[in-house]
Structures are given as structure tokens and as C-alpha cells.
Amino acid sequence: MSDLPVLVTGGAGFIGSHLVDALLARGYSVRVLDNLSSGKPGNLPLGDPRLELVEGDVADVGLVRGVMVGCGAVVHLAAVASVQASVIDPVGTHRSNFIGTLNVCEAMREHGIRRVLFASSAAVYGNNGEGEAIDEDTPKTPLTPYAADKLASEHYLDFYRRQHGLEPAIFRFFNIYGPRQDPSSPYSGVISIFTERAAKRLPITLFGDGEQTRDFVYIADLIEVLLQALEAPQVLPGAVNVGLNRSLSLNRLLEEISALFGGLPEVRREAARPGDIRHSRADNRRLMERYRLAEPTSMAAGLACLLGRA
Ligand code: NAD
Ligand code: UD2
């Protein structure tokens, strides 16, 4: 472990703020760069003197250069995290999701910082491999600006690895869930939306027949992997899926939520979202080869933690 601060871009968001907590608990000091577009200062323990929050944009190259001075490693999470938002605003999304990555790479090269973790997405596969466990060699067909920017970012990180000695650990997250995932946007993670609405007894909207499946990963399991990647003596090239090779249908998810709340509010059925993937499940052999994940959190346990009942 290095004494130098870790820079976490997007550190005030859902995943970022959990990582910040874990880094502080392990004794790191942390600098967060976040434009607070979806992240919140309230997600962060701002009273901790080892934590510094810099409010600003990863698309601002001068700022990224400045904020990196003295850092030992970078975790690059800042992005417009909603696929639908990228469809509505491809240009704005590209600034955050691609130019931001390029700025991070350039600033790292200038400062001689090598280790960087990057949050890519299962979205890079498009519909390929649907219905099977998707491995990392599955053809990539990014279907949205969000997915195209993530895949382009992966390629640039790999260029900086080959050309400038960066050590990028690239992760393709499947569906991450947990506390602090913002339920307020209709495009936020389905678990945060369903649990909040169940708690408030508000109607739940189910798009499609509910038999679509996802590979849900509890936030603590992801953080465990990210910490190992940060501290690993070396990083092998090639992106790594972060999924558990587990399928859960939305109908089964609703049953789990119902059990926790003693019933469900009204469930309104609407047509499937255009472009919605039917089945998404990770082949996670590479994850298991490279990282230790003793006993992944079960959905029942994850939901209990999310609701503060664990
Ligand atoms: P989030 O919206 O909670 O976090 C993103 C953070 O980035 C926010 O704090 C936001 O304010 C910040 N941000 C956005 N644009 C910025 C910019 N231009 N400059 C500085 N900060 C900016 O979402 P999250 O779920 O925590 O996602 C974190 C990362 O993981 C993102 O890169 C996302 O694409 C990726 N990811 C998440 C999931 C998931 O299931 N949650 C799945 C695949 C990939
Ligand atoms: C997730 C990620 C996305 C990308 C993608 C990769 C989130 C928020 N999105 O998209 O960034 O990485 O995976 O494949 O993590 N649904 C409902 N009702 C609701 C909300 C959602 O039925 O109120 C459905 C939705 O139509 C979909 C499923 O729930 O079938 C999961 O939706 P999601 O938005 O949580 O995640 P996903 O898989 O579309």
C-alpha cells in the first residue's frame, strides 16, 4: 500500500462513495474529483481529514492534470452512468465518458502514475451472447453512445498501457446494486427503484413480462475486487467481467422484495423498453482466476443489507 492519495473520479456517486469508504478504512488518503451531476457530497465522510473533495469535471484537462499531482493511483469511475441519458445527449455524454478517460490517461502519463482502475460495462457486448454466459471474448457491438464511449475508453487505456506503461485494470460491470444507488431517475438500477417504491408503497412499473434476467452483484463484492486490483503487484491485460454467473428474473426479484416487505404495492406492467436486453449473465472465470471472491453475497443478504436489516 502506498502513502500517496488515491484519486477517485466520480467518487461522490454510488460505487465511488463505497470505494472511498473502503479506501479510508484501509488507511489510504483519498482525493475525489466529481462534478456532482449525480453524485452527492452527503455520500462522503467529509469530516475525515484524509479525504479531499474537488468539485469539477473530468472533461477539463487542466483540472484533471492539477488534481492528479501527488497521487499514487487512480480509480476512474466518473461517467454519465445512464445508458438512456447517453441516447438523449450523446455529445454531453461523450465529453464525460470518453474525453474524461482520455484526460485521465494523459494526466497519468505526464505525472508518471501507472495504476488505474476503469469502470467499463457489460453494455459493450450489446445483444451478443444473450442467453448464454458472456465471456470477455464475446464480440463487442456497442449499441448506444454509452457503450461506444466505454469501449473506446477501453481501447485508449490499452494504448496507454502498450505505449506509456500505464497499468489499467479494466472491469466490465454487470448490474451492481446496493445502498446509495440513486432511485430517483427512472433509468437508475432496477433494485434501487423497486425497493424504494416498495418501502413507500408506491406503484412499481415492470417493463416486459418480468422474465428478463440479470446478473446482479452486491456493491461490497465489487469493492472487494477493486481493492485487490488496486493493490495487486501486477495487472494482466484484458478486461474482466464483474458478474457472478447467476441469473435472476425480475419476477423472482419481486418475490424476494415482497418477502422482505410482507407484500408488494401495485405492479403496473408496461411494454418492454426498446433495446432492453433479455438475458444478461457473466462468464466470470477470468474474474475468479485473477481475484479472490470467497462467497458472493446472495440476493437475500444483499437486499437485507440494502434495507439496513442485516
Ligand atoms: P453514479 O451516477 O452514482 O456515479 C457516477 C459519478 O460520476 C457521480 O458521482 C457523478 O456526479 C460523477 N460524474 C459524472 N460525470 C462527471 C464528469 N464529467 N466529471 C466529474 N464527475 C462526473 O453511477 P455508478 O453506478 O456509481 O457508476 C460508476 C461507474 O460505474 C460509471 O462509470 C458507470 O458507467 C459504471 N457502471 C455502473 C454500473 C452499475 O450497475 N451501477 C454498471 C456498469 C458500469
Ligand atoms: C445495466 C446498467 C447499464 C449497463 C447495462 C449493461 C444500471 C442502472 N444500468 O442496464 O449502465 O451497464 O446494465 O448491460 O445499472 N426495469 C423495470 N422497471 C423499472 C426499471 C427497470 O422493469 O422501473 C427493468 C428494465 O427494463 C430491465 C431491468 O429492469 O429489463 C434492469 O434494468 P436496469 O436499468 O436496472 O439495468 P440494465 O440491465 O438495463
Is 194 part of a structural domain of the chain? yes
Is 290 part of a structural domain of the chain? no
Give how many domains the chain has, as a whole number. 2
For the cut 80, the answer to whether the pLDDT of residue 231 exceeds it is: yes
For the cut 70, the answer to whether the pLDDT of residue 1 exceeds it is: no
Is 48 part of a structural domain of the chain? yes
Is 289 part of a structural domain of the chain? no
Share of the chain above pLDDT 90, in %: 90
Looking at the structure, tell me whether residues 146 and 263 fall in a common domain. no
Looking at the structure, tell me whether residues 132 and 154 fall in a common domain. yes
φ, ψ of residue 220 to 5 degrees: the values are -65, -35
Is residue 130 very low, low, confident or very high in pLDDT (cuts 50, 70, 90)? confident
Looking at the structure, tell me whether residues 81 and 108 fall in a common domain. yes
pLDDT averaged over the chain? 95
Q: Residues enclosing ligand 2, CB less than 6 A?
A: 81, 83, 121-123, 175, 188-190, 193, 205-207, 212, 214, 250, 273, 276-277, 280
Is 186 part of a structural domain of the chain? yes
Strands 73-76 and 115-121: parallel
Is 162 part of a structural domain of the chain? yes
Ligand nearest to the CA of 120: 1
Let me know: does 45 contact 21? Beta carbons within 8 Å: yes
Looking at the structure, tell me whether residues 251 and 197 fall in a common domain. yes
Q: State in Å: Cα 15 to ligand 2 middle.
A: 16
Looking at the structure, tell me whether residues 235 and 96 fall in a common domain. yes
Tell the residue nearest (CA) to atom 1 of ligand 2. 175
Looking at the structure, tell me whether residues 115 and 191 fall in a common domain. no
Q: Containing domain of residue 234, as a range?
A: 6-176+216-242
Q: What is the DSSP string of 214-280?
A: E-EEEHHHHHHHHHHHHH-S---SS-EEE--S--EEHHHHHHHHHHHHTS---EEEEPPPTT--SB-
Mean pLDDT of 34-56: 97
Looking at the structure, tell me whether residues 211 and 299 fall in a common domain. yes
Atom in ligand 1 nearest the alpha carbon of residue 78: 7
Is 191 part of a structural domain of the chain? yes
Looking at the structure, tell me whether residues 252 and 266 fall in a common domain. yes
CATH number of domain containing 260: 3.90.25.10
Looking at the structure, tell me whether residues 251 and 136 fall in a common domain. no
Looking at the structure, tell me whether residues 59 and 139 fall in a common domain. yes
Is 12 part of a structural domain of the chain? yes
Which positions are annotated as active-site residues? 146
